[in-house]
């Protein structure tokens, strides 16, 4: 297809946010899709992954990845279709996953390391699933739980952000490994979903009940593994209930990402000492060479009908600034995805 007449709408970082991002922290720009040279491709964006980590990438701070520069197209993983190719690596029509950015088209070398495009198979699973359990959040949950948590059958696993992208997978992988699973989520609907649809044993609605009391009720044998997605007061509450040799996986701390005050660390950390327990961070990219193993196991469970995923899809590139806030306000119900164009 000719890309000559195409315009590429993009969302760029205009300012570093203080607290919750504001509309004025973004610029919407538009430029023509340029002709491609040998070895290059054009990818048309279909779906973008909206992730809590995006908030961290907007800060000018040292992290596991460099910050997005002011004026740069906002970083985002996504799924798209190759619509022009001068590379033997991808053919027109291929569905690909990679670092597309918040824009309608990605143009560049097919083997660009930063974008890291790889083919995904629509016949194995619908494309949005590749941004959920079969993509980055799923790999975070799978390798974080199995490699850092090292669950054994019969152990009690607690996971916060339970109805979200990472949380829903953590709980289901833990159930597959024979654990008792207790979720923590905001609101009755999310709690009902993880228990009734995903098969968690119980869920604590932290917005309407005491997490400490809920843990006493639902974890009578204590907590062996805590998969922490939220940090803050919930981490502190779980620390009071851990068992000897417990493992705490520090995956994220979304309750802290928009704080203008310094990050609040756990006050109850001496529980680690008393219980000879371990707290360890995880960064998903460390497992990239084994994603295919996690994806294959979860795809098999999906086919068997013993593993479900839920996506929350918002339409329209222009809705990116507000959609991102859904994550921090608990307005997403499942993996948050921005649909930029129809398949």
Q: Which residues sit at the interface with ligand NAP, rule CB under 6 A?
A: 51-53, 137, 140, 161, 163-167, 185-187, 190, 229-230, 251-255, 282-284, 327-328, 330, 332, 335-336
| Nearer residue to ligand NAP within complex by CB, 98 or 167 | 167
335-339 and 311-315 as β-strands: parallel, antiparallel, unpaired? parallel
Nearest distance from residue 83's CB to ligand NAP, in Å?
Answer: 28
**Angle, to 10 degrees, between the axis of helix 165-176 and the axis of helix 136-143?**
40
Task: In angstroms, give the least distance from the CB of 293 to ligand NAP.
Answer: 17
CB of 151 or CB of 232, closer to ligand NAP: 232
Close Cβ partners of 334 (under 8 Å, ≥ 6 residues apart)? 132, 163, 164, 165, 168, 309, 310, 311, 312
Cβ proximity to ligand NAP, 101 vs 161, nearer residue: 161
Query: Least separation, in Å, of the C-beta of 173 and ligand NAP?
Result: 14
- Closest contact distance (angstroms) between CB of 316 and ligand NAP is 20
- Closer residue to ligand NAP, CB minimum distance, 243 or 319: 319
- DSSP string computed for 174-201: HHHTT-EEEEEESSHHHHHIIIIIT--S
187 or 199: CB nearest ligand NAP: 187
Phi-psi region of 231 (alpha: psi -120 to 50; beta: other; left: phi over 0): left
In degrees, rounded to 5, the angle at the alpha carbon of residue 24 between the alpha carbons of residues 18 and 26 is 95
Q: Which is nearer to ligand NAP, 32 or 288 (CB)?
A: 288
Q: What is the rounded radius of gyration, in angstroms, for the C-alpha atoms of the chain?
A: 21
Question: Which residue lies nearer to ligand NAP by CB, 81 or 190?
Answer: 190
CA–CA separation, 81 vs 99, rounded Å?
13
Quote the least distance from Cβ 110 to ligand NAP, whole Å.
26
Cβ at position 204, least distance to ligand NAP in Å? 10
Distance CA 83, CA 173 (A): 36
**Cα–chain center distance at 74:** 16
Cα atoms found within 13 Å of the Cα of residue 253, Cβ hemisphere only: 19
Helices 136-143 and 291-304, packing angle to 10 deg: 100
């Amino acid at each position: 297809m000719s890309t000559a007449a195409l315009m590429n709408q993009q969302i760029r970082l205009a300012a570093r946010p203080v607290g919750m991002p504001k509309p004025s922290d973004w610029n919407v720009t538009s430029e023509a899709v340029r002709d491609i040279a040998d070895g290059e491709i054009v990818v048309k964006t279909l779906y973008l992954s909206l992730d809590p980590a995006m908030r961290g990438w907007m800060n000018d701070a040292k992290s596991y990845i460099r910050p997005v520069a002011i004026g740069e197209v906002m970083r985002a993983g996504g799924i798209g279709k190759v619509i022009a190719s001068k590379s033997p690596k991808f053919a027109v029509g291929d569905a690909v996953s990679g670092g597309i950015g918040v824009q309608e088209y990605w143009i560049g070398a097919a083997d660009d390391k930063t974008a890291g495009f790889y083919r995904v198979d629509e016949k194995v699973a619908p494309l949005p699933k590749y941004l959920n359990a079969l993509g980055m959040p799923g790999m975070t949950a799978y390798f974080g739980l199995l490699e850092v948590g090292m669950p054994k059958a019969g152990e009690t696993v607690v996971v916060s952000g339970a109805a979200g992208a990472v949380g829903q997978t953590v709980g289901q992988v833990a159930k597959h490994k024979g654990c008792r699973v207790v979720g923590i989520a905001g609101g009755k609907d999310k709690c009902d979903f993880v228990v009734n649809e995903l098969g968690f044993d119980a869920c604590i609605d932290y917005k309407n009940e005491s997490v400490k009391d809920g843990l006493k009720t639902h974890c009578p044998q204590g907590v062996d593994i805590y998969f922490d997605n939220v940090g803050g007061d919930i981490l502190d509450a779980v620390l009071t209930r851990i068992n000897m040799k417990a493992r705490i996986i520090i995956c994220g701390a979304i309750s802290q990402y928009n704080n203008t005050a310094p990050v609040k660390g756990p006050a109850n950390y001496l529980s680690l000492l008393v219980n000879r327990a371990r707290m360890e961070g995880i960064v998903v990219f460390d497992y990239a060479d084994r994603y295919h193993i996690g994806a294959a196991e979860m795809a098999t469970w999906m086919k068997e009908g013993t593993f479900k995923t839920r996506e929350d899809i918002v339409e329209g590139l222009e809705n990116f600034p507000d959609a991102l806030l859904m994550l921090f306000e608990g307005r997403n119900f499942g993996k948050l995805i921005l649909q930029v164009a129809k398949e």
